[in-house]
């Protein structure tokens, strides 16, 4: 178990799935957690679970596609806890899934606003707040380096986020800021339900039993909140391999 006592950590997309699991796990490790998502009601439920058991967590409504809202999120964290140690850029969308010729340009653009610009906004405002000492974890995907039918929006944005991770490391790696990606593989969340319902590409045909629980990803995020993340800076750390899982303390790939 990692000890994150006193660290202030922002988690976007925190109302469900990976985000909610990470809020619970990092708070249990002693972190001051700032949980962010568009739905304040859903956030309040997650945060109440944490605070009722003695953890430290606050909720902040935030649409990561809104630059002003992301700036306010960073300011809330620093005002509340006196600084910022870690930003977890977890918020992301994949629906609607469609082949390029069938896609809705407005919906496609919305994915860019959330999956790519939301990560950029977070990095843009978190880096100055970290004052030369902190970690940014960008949730990535195998889609960052591969192409899948119906996922042009998701593949393109995740590839761009990987480039942001590389650029962040290039610019700040020697200044005390660790920027690292996390590629978790397929996770048992609502996103997998949307993927399965689409019926497009082999991922939609996977048996639900092969998806890892969100709690595995939360543990990987906790691992990357420690100095161990530095060895993967500028790249995507993966828990799709036995080596990655062993580092985190997870069971091997089945």
Residues annotated as part of the active site: 154
CA angle 146–150–156, rounded 5-degree value: 45
Torsion of CA 223, 126, 8, 81, to 10 degrees: 180
| Contact partners, residue 50, CB within 8 Å, separation at least 6 | 23, 24, 27, 33, 56, 57
Rounded (10°) angle between helices 214-224 and 17-28: 50
Alpha-carbon distance 2 to 150, whole Å?
39
- Residues 45 and 128: their CA atoms lie apart, in Å, by 31
Collapsing DSSP states into helix, strand and coil, what is residue 151? Answer: coil
The DSSP secondary-structure symbol of 237 reads E
d(CA 199, CA 69): 35
Q: Which of 149, 140, 144, 241 has its CA nearest to residue 203?
A: 149
Distances (CA, A) of 242 to 7, 103, 245: 29, 37, 5
**Residue that the structure tokens 């649409």 belong to:** 63
């Amino acid at each position: 178990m990692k000890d994150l006592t006193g660290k202030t950590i922002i988690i976007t997309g925190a109302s469900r799935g990976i985000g909610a699991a990470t809020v619970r796990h990092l708070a249990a490790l002693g972190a001051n957690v700032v949980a962010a998502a568009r739905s304040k009601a859903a956030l309040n439920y997650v945060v109440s679970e944490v605070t009722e058991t003695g953890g430290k967590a606050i909720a902040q409504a935030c649409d990561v596609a809104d630059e002003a809202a992301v700036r306010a999120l960073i300011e809330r964290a620093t005002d509340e806890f006196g600084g910022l140690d870690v930003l977890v850029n977890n918020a992301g969308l994949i629906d609607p899934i469609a082949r390029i010729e069938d896609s809705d340009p407005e919906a496609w653009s919305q994915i860019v606003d959330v999956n790519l610009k939301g990560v950029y906004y977070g990095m843009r405002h978190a880096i100055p707040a970290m004052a030369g000492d902190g970690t940014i974890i960008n949730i990535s995907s195998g889609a960052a380096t591969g192409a899948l039918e119906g996922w042009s929006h998701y593949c393109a944005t995740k590839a761009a986020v990987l480039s942001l991770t590389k650029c962040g490391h290039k610019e700040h790696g020697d200044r005390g800021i660790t920027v690292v990606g996390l590629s978790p593989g397929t996770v048992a969340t609502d996103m997998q339900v949307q993927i399965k319902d689409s019926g497009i590409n082999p991922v939609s045909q996977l048996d639900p039993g092969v998806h890892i629980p969100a709690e595995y990803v939360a543990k990987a995020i906790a691992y990357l909140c420690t100095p161990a993340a530095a060895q993967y800076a500028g790249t995507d750390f993966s828990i799709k391999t036995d080596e990655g899982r062993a580092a985190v303390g997870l069971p091997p790939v089945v």
